[in-house]
Chains A and B, each alone.
Chain A
Amino acid sequence: MATEVLMPALSPTMEEGTLAKWLVKEGDSVKSGQILAEIETDKATMEFEAVDDGIIGKLLIAEGTAGVKVNTPIAVLVEDGETVDDTAPATKPATVAATVAAAAPVAAQAAAPAPVAAKGWPHADLPEGPTKTMTVREALREAMAEEMRRDPSVFLMGEEVGEYQGAYKISQGLLDEFGAKRVVDTPITEHGFAGIAVGASWGGLRPIVEFMTFNFAMQAIDHIINSAAKTLYMSGGQMGSPMVFRGPNGAAARVGAQHSQDYAAWYSAIPGLKVCMPYSAADAKGLLKTAIRDPNPVIFLENEILYGRSFEVPTDPDFTIPLGKASILRDGDDVTIVSFSIGLTYALQAAEILAKDGISAEVVNLRTLRPIDYDTVLASVMKTNRCVTVEEGFPVGSIGDHLASTIMQRAFDYLDAPVVTCTGKDVPMPYAANLEKLALTTTADVVAAVKSVCYR
């Protein structure tokens, strides 16, 4: 019987890819394990092997095709003596996708109130002037490259940042441009190299430390907090640690409990650290440039799932974003949704759904978690009188908890409802696809929270 060969998933976060090259042609017999094609994923070019023995009956997708969704049929494998036409109607997919990224659930609409228009979205927070489209990944890379050109004391160190071109390809090309003196590959020794970087910052350099993911920075957290964050204070202001610790933070996809944790609230608790958490490519570029120039240790929490997303970024070479300044991603009157990083994906989707339901939500992008821009949050809440916060981290001691208490202390009389926090669930991250989805906060959670504070 003929079987369809489906576009494979070749990385934890791959949703689509480019069929770069076929290594077989129609009529070829192939053996299980034989390489059929080269496929470009979001991170790399991978070889794709046959699962079954058979003959290539038909190639369904031409080589060079981009944007092929995972699990799309790309070829038909037939048995000896069969042709595709014999079997075409009966072809059965060789695979069933266990998980396909689910579209945001749309809230049920009863007697629909008049929809409200979105004001100034999606690029309300960019300065005037020309922009270009780039991914978050490219924006981070460009920020590092520009700052390394500008200041010879800036260097990058971490695991696989050089010859491998970055585990997540953020540092791709930097070794070629800046050489091994400034793009330093380290052994797998986070505690050690983080300490060396802090020492180097005291010695007059401006290190950028890349953690392959922030899960591994737990090994280095003593140096981040005890050495980097506190030395300016302990030395009576004589010497600080001008440096950036950056890398992906939070849940990726299906990587389990030890590899899926959001450290936003952890680092934001520490005096002496600054903490950035970009959402868009413009945030990534503007904030990282500022972070590299900042005279303090800055924790720069990126998100693997956002790396491949595209946004408009100002082309102005002097474009930077100050630390401690939130932006308004969408204006609204009825409720304030405060979020940051990937949480904004849910916040913005929810705002769109709520608009159809007649609720006008203002979406605040915090961008920096320490120092936090209380003024922007409070001004918005004083206008809308309601607030929902959205983040992926654990609920206890969350950024949302901190904002709720601040709003209560400074804008109590303006509130028409208690502040509601949407967070990840109070559990380690499970691996199973169905449980993982439950463990994270969702657009539906945000919609429900907003409705509850609007008493709807």
Chain B
Amino acid sequence: MVARKPADRPNASKEDLLKYYREMLLIRRFEEKAGQLYGMGLIGGFCHLYIGQEAVVVGLEAAAKDGDKRITSYRDHGHMLACGMDPKGVMAELTGRIGGYSKGKGGSMHMFSKDRHFYGGHGIVGAQVPLGAGLAFADKYLGNDNVTFTYFGDGAANQGQVYETYNMAELWNLPVVFVIENNQYAMGTSMKRSTKSPSMWERGAAYGIKGEAVDGMDVLAVKAAGEKAVATCRAGDGPYILEMMTYRYRGHSMSDPAKYRTREEVDKMRSEKDAIDHVRDLLLQGGLASDDDLKAIDKDIKARVNEAAEFAKDSPEPPLADLWTDIYA
């Protein structure tokens, strides 16, 4: 695992660091707001927050180019914001309104944007893994150099279809980066209660797939690993596995009391490993930004998130006739 860079020698430009800071903060504030709207009854059903894992998507998006694709599970809000989807459209989907990315018909777990090459938002654990490899299959077939980021959890990593996909992806050298977001828990099951494998990425070796574990709480380490994986795939030498060691601070979904771990464990992660604090430290200690600069960013992000929430409340429910549309093309 890559060690953290000392704060006084950040391996990134001021502009980059400020960009990562903004993007991660946007995800965090957005998710906090979503949690609040859920409690108010404006968001229903299942709602899985991404708080704690922000560095993974922000670091990998920094390694992506236009045309690259991404696909993930139901824990998808962060991925959508990081790939440039509009917070208003994401929030309005969470409230089930016409202004949402799926016109209110998909909900928190099922959003898509062909425009931003975001292919969902999938509710069945592990299903996105072969689907992501299929997107990569199409790119290879069409002869372009796009790469697909296929995100899945440590729990999903035990699904049989993951290994069927690994085998074919390596057999056909598909340009897919398998990103295991190892937040250490699958609902209430810690990784050590679901597998005896010491690591998830090493399982790829059985199929001949290269990979590595990465400090998923360090956006710079994530970006560096992402660049390597992407370069491998673009060179026709894919797939590649990145196991992101990360952590979710909230319960599995809004209705999970998270009694399977201690408050101390969560607090320790937050205080010692928080990805946003890390970049904040790099900026402040490196003299790249002042407290006031960061406060101004905070304020700006808060305003954007509030604007998204207002939009999501004001956007009307879909017209009743929409019940019958989009079933067939």
Contact = CB atoms under 8 A, between A and B. Distances in A.
Contacts of B110: 256-258, 431
A235 interface: no
A292 interface: no
Interface stretch (B57-65, B139-147, B186-194, B280-288): B186-194
A109 interface: no
B41 A439 contact: no
A400 to B, nearest CB: 20
A237 to B, nearest CB: 31
Q: How large, as a class, is the contact surface on chain A?
A: 35 or more
Interface in B267-302: none
Interface string A291-308: 000000000000000000
A435 B124 contact: no
Interface stretch (B81-89, B99-107, B175-183): B99-107
Contact of B96 (A43, A218, A254): A254
Interface string A4-31: 0010111110100000000000000000
A6 B40 CA distance: 7
B104 A259 contact: no
B181 to A, nearest CB: 14
Interface stretch (A80-88, A142-150, A185-193): A185-193
A255 B45 CA distance: 4
A430 B324 CA distance: 10
Given A11-B254, A97-B40, A164-B189, 13 more contacts: A9-B44, A44-B255, A46-B257, A51-B36, A100-B41, A159-B189, A160-B187, A188-B186, A216-B125, A254-B107, A258-B109, A258-B110, A435-B105
Contact of B106 (A33, A215, A218, A256): A256
Contacts, number: 173
A90 to B, nearest CB: 20
Given A6-B40, A189-B158, A254 B257 contact: no
Contacts of B254: 10-11
B155 interface: yes
B260 interface: yes
Nearest to A13: B255
A427 B324 CA distance: 7
Contacts of B42: 95-96, 98
A253 B186 CA distance: 22
A233 B44 CA distance: 45
B283 to A, nearest CB: 23
A257 B102 CA distance: 12
Interface residues of B, number: 53
Contacts of B195: 187
A430 B39 CA distance: 21
A14 B41 CA distance: 10
Contacts of B46: 12, 255-256, 259
B112 to A, nearest CB: 12
Contacts of B72: none
Interface in A227-277: 252-259
Contacts of B38: 8-9
Contact of A258 (B122, B156, B188, B320): B122
B123 A258 contact: yes
Contact of A187 (B39, B122, B194): B194
Contacts of B123: 215, 256, 258-259
Interface in B246-262: 254-257, 259-260
Interface of A: 6, 8-12, 14, 33, 41, 43-49, 51, 70-71, 94-100, 159-160, 163-164, 167, 185, 187-189, 191-192, 215-216, 218-219, 252-259, 425-428, 430-435, 438-439
Given A44-B255, A99-B44, A431 B188 contact: no
Contact of A438 (B45, B126, B259, B323): B323
Interface of B: 32, 35-36, 38-42, 44-46, 93, 95-97, 102, 104-110, 122-126, 155-156, 158-160, 186-189, 193-195, 254-257, 259-260, 317-318, 320, 322-324, 327
A311 B106 CA distance: 35
Contact of A188 (B41, B44, B109, B155): B155
25 contacts: A10-B254, A14-B255, A33-B32, A44-B255, A44-B256, A49-B36, A51-B36, A94-B40, A95-B42, A98-B42, A98-B96, A99-B41, A163-B193, A164-B187, A164-B188, A187-B195, A216-B125, A254-B96, A255-B45, A427-B327, A431-B107, A432-B105, A432-B317, A435-B317, A439-B323
A192 B46 CA distance: 26
A456 B213 CA distance: 70
B322 A435 contact: yes
Nearest to B38: A9
A46 B255 contact: yes
